[in-house]
Structure 1
Amino acid sequence: MNGTILALNAGSSSLKFRLYEVQGDQFYLILRGQFDGVNENPHLAVKEADGKEICNIDLKIGEHMQEDMLERIFDVIKPYTAKSPLQAVGHRVLHGGGRFADPVLLNDEIVDYLETLIPMGPLHQPANLASVKLFRRIRPELPQVACFDTAFHVNIDERAARYPIPLEYEAKGYRRFGFHGLSYTYIADRLREISDYLVRKRTVVAHLGSGSSMCAMRDGKAIDTTMGLTPLGGLMMGTRSGTVDPGLVLTLMEKENLSPAEIKHMLYYKSGLLGVSGISGDLRVLMSSDDPNAKKAIDLFVFRACRELSIMVATMQGIESLVFSAGIGENSSVIRKLICERAAWLGIQIDDEANNANAEIISSPESRVEVRVIPTDEEIVLAKQTASVIAESAKAGTSPVMA
């Protein structure tokens, strides 16, 4: 296909977007933009691909904030789509449930189904779907495609996917799904680009950010992952607890008289780095703090990351490659060093100079495990998957307009 694609990555407190020019199978970045602090102090920053600043403004929270945001996106991209019309919008959607293993052209029935999955992704799924609905109201003629974070993990080892619960609940779809799939798709493709040999290695990818997970992969496919039915499990995160004993939840309900809603709020919004430190869920803030609780939170983050890493290694029965990605993984040489030092028993050794320089390969020549830093790019995956769906729709002769 030829034209432009808008890739939209809506989170609970931010909204990232990119505009791509598509010429056949080639994708060229035109614009990148981001709304931050959308629930408190909204700010919009937009740059062209070469870094030229187009917009950098503070906004006021209004009654129709989300709609205003999308209108502003259209205002910004309008001059860039005059000669190359906008063909579709690709949305990152957190959860596809047991129904979707591939990106899909959205319609009312599919959106209704995705809304039933909100309890399994209360931080992200509502924001993802809100953008879909608003786009339909603003531009009803514009095709919209959902690209799912769960899709990459759809074929993980059956034993990794199952919970040890009664069969009747498994039959209803209660299983482990996994998330950050767009990021893992990008990393798998990047490993394949670097070397056919590299992508065949037993690899653990550590997507470390405000939301964190790990994925065990080989041959570019997921074998196991740390998150489960929801994006609450696995690693300790910025404000999310990661995996806790289910008995803890029951005890909090019985002994502390906490309601399910209160427990959900605590585990999603008040735990993790924020909960342990009592200061912040932002690792950068904790790294610059002298408070002993900040150090405790960082130590626990590393400890839990190494424990989850060992689970991924056990699933694959070995490890040959470790990849760090996402905000913390790409930028924090300190956290990478602490994790690698604690995981030295796996044969991991890093080169301090390379690590401090954020080099592509940070392992030492003596390391039995190759350690890389690969910046992720979820938006280009969104754009490519969206273009593919639109092209297939055109080939099949079906209308791409949401109905």
Structure 2
Amino acid sequence: MSAILTLNAGSSSVKFGVYQVAEEPVLLLKGQVENLGPLARMKLQGGAAEEIGPADHAVALHEILHAIQPALDGRVVMGVGHRIVHGGKSFGEPEVLTERVLAKLRTLEQLAPLHQPHNLAAVYAAQKEFPESVQIGCFDTAFHRGHPFVNDTFALPRKYYEHGVRRYGFHGLSYDYITSCLRHDWPDLYKGRVVVAHLGNGASMCAIRGGQSVGSTMGFSALDGLPMGTRCGQLDPGVLLYLMAQGMGADEISNLLYHDSGLKGLSEISHDMRTLLDSDDPRAAQAVDYYVFRIRRELGAMAAILGGIDGLVFCGGIGEHAAAIRARVLEGMEFLGLAENAAANAASETRIGAGATEVLVIPTDEERVIARSVADALLA
């Protein structure tokens, strides 16, 4: 028997899945190494989290390869699927990760420094561990290919657009999965105008019409749009010019925007929404206030792009679990047909709306999207 391994290396975690090869892959084991840093944890689906101590992405991968052995139970890993955050101009479909492809992807590391190096490190580790397996890359930017020009470009000289300075959008694997759920379970909504809010340590929103992305809050890099755990979100570029004039170099600015901003920077307490919601520190409240404000602002923008809204879907760690955030986003949004069913929201039910516009909570599954792509390659 053969199996598929999926690896999804994020900024603060590495998620993984083991699947039996089939037209619709069969899940055997799923889990993640979370809270990378001094107190990392291994959590397998259905089990309690276990402390594994200090861990970076390399240690996490070692722990994962050890943890999956019982689930493999003699199965041979024939394919390994990888989430690759940035596909640039070149990659709009899943790709076999040849050295030529990997060389192109390495040139994009500066556009996604929290993710791309770790994504590619996972590829090299998997190649070493499973040298006979096909390695497939699935790109977060691919879902947004085909955007209208006005949502792809910046108002810079056109030559920069031709050279790849454009809005790519991210979290595409998550949006791909959510649209597949809508197509299967909510076909009328799938055909309509939907805003999906992927809210987690990384966060973005996407305007989707008839299953196709037509607008995204993220742009050239994974910094734009909503504030995130440690990333700033939308920022006046004049701020960067000011910081440069004050003597800050590129590395210092990069560290500020990617690692020390967002919820962490605003609160000076934590990047973790759970910690902030439990805190009585006014700085925590202000950070949450700004987070909610920006979601509401971008929700209006996405609705404008679509010319109206038929449904709103929350997903991602915060979107799926933080009922308080969902409630605050929906408050006062009756002009868009959005209202909260408080009891359903508190219970994190699938349908949490009480207005004319559908409001759903759908747990996303990027690993399944990756596994499907690998299965397609193996069964072709």
| 1:230-254 deviations in Å (ceiling 9; x for gaps) | 1100011111110111111111211
Q: Larger radius of gyration, structure 1 or 2?
A: 1
* TM-score, scaled to structure 1: 0.90
1:154-173 CA distance string (max 9 Å, x none): 11222101111101111101
CA separation of 1:300 and 1:11: change in aligned 2, threshold 3 A? same
2:161 matches 1:170: yes
1:285 and 2:275 are equivalent in the alignment = yes
Q: Given the two structures, how large is their TM-score scaled by the length of structure 2?
A: 0.95
What do the CA deviations read for 1:375-396 (whole angstroms, capped 9, x no partner)? 111111110011112333xxxx
Tell me how far 1:133 sits from its aligned partner.
1.2
Residue deviations 1:153-199 (CA, integer Å, cap 9, x gap): 01122210111110111110111000000000000000011132110
The answer to whether the 8 A contact 1:93-1:129 is kept is yes
Equivalent pair of 2:195/2:312 in contact (CA under 8 Å): yes
Residue 357 of structure 2 is aligned to residue 369 of structure 1: yes
Letter in 2 for 1:40: P
Q: Which residue of 2 aligns with 1:147?
A: 138
Contact between 1:156 and 1:222, CA under 8 Å: does it hold in 2? yes
Aligned mates of 2:274, 2:350 — CA distance in 1 = 22
The 5 Å alignment of 1:319-358 reads 319-358=309-348
Please tell me the residue identity of whatever aligns with 2:249.
Answer: S
State the alpha-carbon separation in 1 of the partners of residues 277 and 340 from structure 2. 21
Q: 2:37 aligns with which of 14, 36, 39?
A: 39
Q: How far apart are the structure 1 equivalents of 2:110 and 2:308?
A: 35
Separation of aligned partners in 2, 1:43 and 1:300: 29
Asked whether the 8 Å contact 1:96–1:114 carries over to 2, the reply is yes
CA deviations on 1:276-311 (whole Å, 9 max, x unpaired) are 111111111111111111111111111111111111
Which whole-Å CA distance do the structure 2 matches of 1:348 and 1:17 have between them?
A: 35
- 1:387 paired residue among 372, 375, 380: 375
The residue that corresponds to 2:80 in the other structure is 89
Matched, 1:4 2:3: yes
Shift of 1:138: 2.9
Query: % of aligned pairs identical?
Result: 42
| 1:199 paired to 2:190 | yes
| C-alpha displacement of 1:96 | 0.4
Deviation at 1:68, TM superposition (A): 5.4
State the partner residue of 2:296.
Answer: 306
- Separation in 2, partners of 1:323, 1:68: 34
Change (3 A) 1:300 1:67: closer
Letter paired with 1:228: G
Q: SS of the residue aligned with 1:233?
A: coil
CA contact (8 A) 2:174 2:364 kept: yes
8 Å CA contact 2:14–2:57 kept in 1: the answer is: no
**Which amino acid in structure 1 is aligned with residue 280 of structure 2?**
D
- Structure 1 CA distance, aligned partners of 2:193 and 2:249? 42
Go from structure 1 to structure 2 and tell me whether the alpha carbon gap of 1:212 and 1:67 turns closer, same or farther (over 3 Å shift). closer
Q: Cα distance 1:44–1:333, how it changes in 2: closer, same or farther (>3 A)?
A: closer
| Matches for 1:222-233 after TM superposition, within 5 Å | 222-233=213-224
Contact 1:147 1:386 in 2 (8 A): no
Measured in 2, the distance between the counterparts of 1:333 and 1:91 equals: 31
Residue 100 of structure 1 corresponds to: 91
Note the C-alpha offset of 1:45: 3.3
**Matched letter for residue 383 of structure 1:** A
1:206-245 CA-to-partner distances (Å, cap 9, x unmatched) read: 0011110000001111010000011100011111110111
Select the residue among 47, 52, 56 that pairs with 1:58. 52
Residue in 1 aligned with 2:202? 211
Contact 2:38 2:54 in 1 (8 A): no
| 2:159 alignment partner, SS class | helix
State the secondary structure of the residue aligned to 1:190: helix
Q: Which moved more, 1:33-42 or 1:114-123?
A: 33-42
Q: Secondary structure at the match of 2:188?
A: helix
CA distance in 1, matches of 2:125, 2:88: 23
Selected match of 1:122 from 107, 113, 123 = 113
Distance 2:54 2:294 in 1: 39
In structure 1, the partner of 2:124 is 133
Amino acid at match of 1:127: H
Residue matched to 2:13: 14
SS at match of 1:191: helix
Other-structure match for 1:400? none
How far does residue 82 in structure 1 lie from its aligned partner after superposition? 4.5
1:327 aligned counterpart, secondary structure: helix
Q: Using the alignment, how far apart are the partners of 1:169 and 1:316 within structure 2?
A: 27
Give structure 1 stretches of 5+ with no counterpart: 393-403
Number of equivalences: 380
Letter in 1 for 2:32: Q
Letter in structure 2 aligned against 1:34: Q
Name the CA distance, whole Å, in 2 between partners of 1:86 and 1:139. Answer: 7
Q: Is the 8 A contact 1:360 1:372 kept in 2?
A: yes
- Aligned CA distance change for structure 1 residues 305 and 37 (closer, same or farther; 3 Å): closer
Give the direction of change, closer, same or farther, for the CA distance of 1:270–1:191 in structure 2 (3 Å limit). same
Counting only pairs closer than 5 Å after superposition, residues 66-77 of structure 1 correspond to structure 2 as 69-77=60-68
